[in-house]
Amino acid sequence: MEYKSVYANDYIQGNSTAVDESTANIAATVPVVLRINGYNHQLDIDPRTTLLDCIRETVGLTGTKKGCDHGQCGACTVHVNGKRVTSCLTLTLMHDGHEITTIEGLGTPDALHPMQAAFVAFDGYQCGYCTSGQIMSAVALLNEPCGPDDAAVKELMSGNICRCGAYANIVAAIQHVRKNT
Amino acid sequence: MRMFEFHRPENAASAIAAGAQAKTAQQGADIRFLAGGTTLVDLMKLEVETPRQLLDINRLPFDKIDDLPNGGLKIGATVRNSDLAHHAKVQKDYAVLSQAILSGASAQLRNLATTAGNLLQRTRCMYFRDNAMPCNKREPGTGCAAITGSNRMLAILGASEHCIANNPSDMCVAMAALEATIHVQGTKGSREIAFGDFHLLPGNTPHRETVLEPGDLITHVALPPPIRGSRHVYLKLRDRESYEFALASAAVVISVERGTVTYARVALGGVGTKPWRSREAENELTGKPANAANFRSAAEAALRGAKPQSENGFKIELAKRCLTHALQTASNA
């Protein structure tokens, strides 16, 4: 399925306002086809747009969250070709043709992914802001080399910060899924 | 973030030709090769890096790990750090490299970050990352805010009066101990650079971080054949147990036969302005009994030239204990 969703890039990226002569002739937008959750999005985007901003602001999938915007908190974690990455530290243009999965592509309210269901069952969140990133990381972890004990899970989940401190329940949810799938 | 042109060169030759138009080489340059982007995109957001052209090299054929005819290993420039750390031969024969990579960053970042990008990883010095502050590395001639500022995390080895920024890489520390070779293609053809010759000390040109010239494209890193019977340890000490840069780290490759050290390669991380190979420690170890006293002597030798800043004097003893403990662990392995 293909559809076109082009939005004005009228949001401000970074903090520079001065027009630099050396960049004055650069095209303001570049065409790219981004495949997210099985759908192709034909976009014209500002080359500065991170994958995170593209997913949220251009495509309109706001389940992926922006926390630190510097790769330090993990809230923006999505899958690219099956691997989890921080979408804030990668440019959209690097990912044309790649298979991108966001939290919206994992399950639906009626048919939750087992990891989503486990986070509910084990109360793996409080405010919920980090949760989509936590779940995307946790789902990717299922296919990564990871020792059986809690310490191994904690080490591989250290790139996802939870300021509410729901870590104990997040680990319990992940271990439940690992033992039951 | 400043505006830039995004290009995806068809092949290495066109990448090199495009890169050669840059005024300076790689770090801080107006034309930058883009691999994982975990350092570069971050610094572009902070406007510490302001390239007007990005050359995306992710789809060039440098993403493989291959056996070399001499028994060594060829690691492509765009091999992801996670793929390198989990490669069977790396885990078996170059364990210190796998351990070092897995001790750095997070799983998400390791999935993006590449071999060549990690080689060119830039310092985490907060003054370098803050455009409002003086920094000789970012803006030559403006001074060093770190020397009189917050310098707890910064270098105690290899610093100059112009820059005390430390190299943040874990991967590089292991590669220094493994005596890796960096292979580069440039406008004048191919060449190889010994790991120890690749990064530059800051001196009075802290903005120059490597020997790369405009257009130089790292194609791969070669590891020499593994040292049979050697034991590998990467020990990293930091403020929290995971997802944090090193205060001090040590990469150790050591062989012990009948109680005597027959081979030793040692490098330190977190403490140097570049990945810090210590031949002083290696000389202190080789041919001597593998015992606690000699390990401590090696650590003393490694840190003999250390100069603390106002807030990081503790790093000298910390680095010594880190190396001593790593040697102890490796010799008991």
A170 in the same domain as A149: yes
Instruction: Determine what percent of chain A is predicted with pLDDT higher than 70.
Output: 87
Q: What is the pLDDT of residue A7?
A: 39
A132 in the same domain as A66: no
Check pLDDT > 80 for residue B35. Answer: yes
User: pLDDT tens-digit profile of B311-321?
Assistant: 999 999 999 99
Residues 6+ apart with CB under 8 A from B303: B156, B157, B316, B319, B320
Q: Which of A73, A104, A135 marks a domain boundary?
A: A104
ipTM of the complex: 0.96
Residue A40 inside a domain? The answer is yes
Residue A65 inside a domain? The answer is yes
User: Per DSSP, which regions of chain B are E strands?
Assistant: 5-7, 31-34, 53-56, 65-67, 73-76, 181-186, 189-194, 217-223, 231-237, 248-257, 260-269, 276-277
Q: What is the pLDDT of residue A138?
A: 98
Residue range B264-291: mean pLDDT, rounded: 98
* Contact assessment for residue B291 and residue B261, using Cβ atoms and an 8 Å cutoff: no
Residues 6+ apart with CB under 8 A from B134: B127, B142, B143, B144, B145
CATH of the domain at A69: 3.10.20.30
Check pLDDT > 80 for residue A14. Answer: no
A90 in the same domain as A128: no
Check pLDDT > 60 for residue A20. Answer: no
A121 in the same domain as A83: no
Check pLDDT > 90 for residue A21. Answer: no
As a whole number, the mean pLDDT across chain B is 97
Query: Which of 113-172 (A) contact B at CB < 8 A?
Result: 137, 140-141, 144-145, 154-156, 158-160
CA distance A66 to chain B (A): 14
User: pLDDT tens-digit profile of B115-160?
Assistant: 999 999 999 999 999 999 999 999 999 999 999 999 999 999 999 9
Q: Kindly tell me the burial class for residue A165, based on how many C-beta atoms sit within 10 Å of its own C-beta (0-12, 13-18, 19 or more).
A: exposed
Q: What is the pLDDT of residue A17?
A: 47
Of A20, A93, A159, the CB nearest to B108: A159
Q: What is the pLDDT of residue A45?
A: 96
Q: Which of A51, A78, A104 marks a domain boundary?
A: A104
The CATH number of the structural domain formed by B231-332 is 3.30.390.50
CATH code 3.30.1360 for B5-55: no
A88 in the same domain as A123: no
Check pLDDT > 90 for residue B94. Answer: yes
pLDDT band at B93 (very low <50, low <70, confident <90, very high): very high
Residues of A in contact with B104 (CB under 8 A): none
d(CA B173, CA B326): 13
Of B6, B52, B243, the CB nearest to A22: B52
d(CA B80, CA A126): 34
Order across the sheet with B260-269: list the strands.
Answer: B231-237, B248-257, B260-269, B276-277
Closest Cα in chain B to A46:
B3
Yes or no, beta carbons of B1 and A13 under 8 Å apart: yes
Residue range B168-193: mean pLDDT, rounded: 98
Q: What is the pLDDT of residue B333?
A: 64
pLDDT band at B26 (very low <50, low <70, confident <90, very high): confident
A136 in the same domain as A73: no
| Ramachandran category for residue B8: left, alpha or beta (phi over 0 → left; psi -120 to 50 → alpha) | beta
Residue A34 inside a domain? The answer is yes
Yes or no, beta carbons of A86 and B30 under 8 Å apart: no
Residue A45 inside a domain? The answer is yes
A129 in the same domain as A49: no
As a whole number, the mean pLDDT across chain A is 90
Residue A109 inside a domain? The answer is no
User: pLDDT tens-digit profile of A73-123?
Assistant: 999 999 999 999 999 999 999 999 999 999 999 999 999 999 999 999 999
Coil vs helix vs strand at A92:
helix
A91 in the same domain as A28: yes
Query: Which of 39-98 (B) contact A at CB < 8 A?
Result: 41-42, 44-45, 47, 52, 54, 56, 58, 80, 82, 86
Coil vs helix vs strand at B235:
strand
A66 in the same domain as A17: yes
Q: What is the pLDDT of residue A19?
A: 52
Residue A81 inside a domain? The answer is yes
Residue A131 inside a domain? The answer is yes
A134 in the same domain as A54: no
For residue B153, the one-letter residue type is M
User: pLDDT tens-digit profile of A134-170?
Assistant: 999 999 999 999 999 999 999 999 999 999 999 999 9
In chain A, the number of structural domains is 2
Yes or no, beta carbons of A23 and B52 under 8 Å apart: yes
Report how far apart, in Å, the C-alpha atoms of A92 and of each of A50, A95, B261 are.
5, 6, 51
A136 in the same domain as A93: no
> Hunting for tokens 């974690």 — which residue is that?
A77
A99 in the same domain as A11: yes
Q: Which of A81, A104, A127 marks a domain boundary?
A: A104
For chain B, the structural domain boundaries read: 5-55, 231-332
Domain ranges, residue A160: 114-180
Please tell me what DSSP assigns to residue B190: E
